[in-house]
Chain A
């Protein structure tokens, strides 16, 4: 898809024009991304049976958490798991304003998807999501996690 960018300093009415020949899912996703004004992550289904070669644009609002496993980054959503080609550090920076915070060396969680934080009897603290999954909040990241929550509250 060809992309043209025009800088119009005198025109305060910023807008996006999309020329398409049929309303494919990717065009719909592009419209959603522009309307919601959120950064978009693209990924391919982690399940090879579902992977038809097309990249899917992932809305950060739908991502529960990002998991870095064996040098691969996966995004967990309600609909499934997607392989994302960015690095975890890039995603952390890109999604900082959108509720994503690092909770361990390999996990970035969306705080808006956390249903509950629950400590186990062995004192490990887990973040539970509404899809039933849970991610451990590492002790080393506990302070930065708390600082992040405080900062987000201050910004709202």
Chain B
């Protein structure tokens, strides 16, 4: 099995575990219920989103912002297609459910993107400090 597939499966397992545990905690606290279709749908969404996010290496030539927007649209489009197929095959999806689907997809994505944005600036600051320290030491060595 190639490294990419192994990495993908590992990330999928971790993501699904975290999301299903969080979902169970939320259900216990707020008294919600789930069913078999929901569990399968959750796994399907995880598989799609992890796959789309794992394509980040294909976007090396573009900026991270463009990459995030394209990945968001791809992942949301693929998940929406699954929901649409389910609405045709199992049970029609109401407009309110579409809105809930969009909201529950977008909010975590924006939080994740915001964290990534913060990390880019925080890492740059740390690296700037390191470079300044290295330059100072280099100057001391040259002059000393």
Contacts and interface: CB of A to CB of B under 8 A. Distances in A.
A123 B64 contact: yes
A150 B120 contact: no
A7 B43 CA distance: 69
Q: Interface extent on A, as a size class?
A: 20 to 34
A153 B127 contact: no
Interface in B123-143: 123-124, 127-128, 130-131, 133-135, 137-138
A153 B66 CA distance: 34
Contact of B134 (A116, A124, A139, A153): A153
Contacts of A95: none
Nearest to A138: B60
B129 to A, nearest CB: 10
A140 B58 CA distance: 11
Contact of A125 (B116, B120, B133, B134): B120
B127 A149 contact: yes
B63 A114 contact: no
Contacts of A12: none
Given A99-B138, A122-B66, A123-B65, 20 more contacts: A99-B134, A111-B135, A112-B135, A114-B131, A117-B124, A117-B128, A119-B120, A122-B63, A122-B64, A123-B64, A123-B116, A123-B117, A123-B120, A125-B124, A140-B57, A140-B60, A142-B123, A146-B127, A149-B130, A156-B134
Contact of A123 (B63, B127, B130, B133): B63
A54 interface: no
B52 to A, nearest CB: 16
Nearest to B130: A149
Interface in B38-89: 56-57, 60, 63-66
Interface of A: 99, 111-112, 114, 116-125, 138-140, 142, 145-146, 149-150, 152-153, 156
A116 B128 contact: yes
B115 interface: no
A149 B120 contact: no
B60 A119 contact: no
Contacts of B133: 153
Given A123-B117, A125-B124, A153 B130 contact: yes
28 contacts: A99-B134, A111-B134, A111-B135, A112-B138, A114-B131, A116-B128, A117-B124, A119-B120, A120-B63, A121-B65, A122-B64, A122-B65, A122-B66, A123-B63, A123-B116, A123-B120, A125-B120, A138-B60, A139-B56, A139-B64, A142-B123, A146-B127, A149-B127, A149-B134, A150-B130, A152-B134, A153-B130, A153-B133
